Amino acid sequence: MKLGALFPQSEIGNDPLMIRDFVQAVEGLGYDYFSVYENVTGADPDRLGGWDADFTYQDPTHTPLILCGYLAGLTKSLKFLTNVMVLPSRQTVLVAKQAAEVDILSGGRLRLGVAVGWNPLEYQAMGVDFYDRGKRIEEQIAVLRQLWTQPLVRFSGQFHHIDDIGINPLPVQRPIPIWMGGVAEPVLRRAARLGEGWLPPVLPAELAVEMVTRLRRHLEEAGRKPEKFGIRCRLDAGIPSEWMTQLEMWRDLGATHAELITTEMGLKMPNGHIEALQRFKNAVTA
């Protein structure tokens, strides 16, 4: 099972040297990948209509692909995961170009984690219809894979009309792996049909078993082998007594990647997070 660290970006601040040192420390601990979540915008919790989220406009976040492009030249083996990019709110061709650039700069170390998102305010701010995002992401995935593997692309769909254009250079990975986040039933079906892997949040044991069972059924219906499909589980750094139990459960469910969350624990930056990651690595690899 590959081990990953979630970037505590709302807590680390905006100093590029501190970010560099933190990521290099993660790589030095022997972690396989580095996961970067995304919030393009935050809102005022006192706004008319409210704001149902655990982050606001006062919480800093970094754009995953640009951040990973910066980190690509500062690391040697650490892989990168966007976890998750709200793909339907983005211009598909631009995402294809930016992701290809990160993949080139990192020597093929990018996994693109995507989802449809939940935030209509962000969609509105970015000028995209929130309510067709499910259909949009399916077409986007098809467009991305063509742009990453073909020098010239022709595509005519509901949302995209491409007439003999291409991106150059193409990425190292052709195509870049696409993993899909979310827990709704349409998401599970979509991931089983179109993704290389699934990115669930932290889940209680019973729900994890139920959802993986449903995912396997969808994979079989799509004619795909569950053992060829990736699953990333997440563990809470605040409950080390349960690390091995959770890992063993997820390993039995076929998980291929495990990611530690060290945020919202009041840890000192960056040393507290690094120490938690060290304890986790020692515990699960002993």
The model's pTM is: 0.94
Cα–Cα distance, 63 to 40 (Å, whole number): 7
Looking only at the bridges linking them, the beta strands covering 110-115 and 79-86 are parallel
Query: How long is the chain?
Result: 286
Instruction: Please state the separation of Cα 60 from the chain's center in Å.
Output: 18
Calculate the average pLDDT of the chain: 94
Whether 266 shows a pLDDT value over 90: the answer reads: no
Count CA atoms closer than 13 A to 232's CA, side-chain side.
32
The rounded distance, in Å, linking the Cα atoms of 282 and 286 is 6
**pLDDT exceeds cutoff 90 at 254:** yes
Residue among 277, 269, 237, 268 nearest 14 (CA): 269
Q: What is the pLDDT of residue 13?
A: 84
What is the helix (H) or strand (E) element at residue 154, kind and residue range? strand 153-156
Share of the chain above pLDDT 70, in %: 99
Would you say the C-alpha torsion 246, 249, 252, 256 has a positive or negative sign?
Answer: negative
What pLDDT score does 171 carry? 98
Q: How does DSSP classify residue 173?
A: S
Q: How far apart are the first and last CA of the chain?
A: 14
Ranking 46-55, 236-245, 260-269 by mean pLDDT, the lowest is 46-55
* HEC readout, 91-125: CHHHHHHHHHHHHHHCCCCEEEEEECCCCHHHHHH
pLDDT at 21 over 80: yes
pLDDT tens-digit series, residues 29-77: 999 999 999 888 877 888 877 767 777 788 888 899 999 999 999 999 9
Look at residue 214 and tell me whether its pLDDT is greater than 80. yes
Category of 127 on φ-ψ map: left (φ > 0), alpha (ψ -120 to 50) or beta: left
Domains of the chain with CATH codes: 2-285 (3.20.20.30)
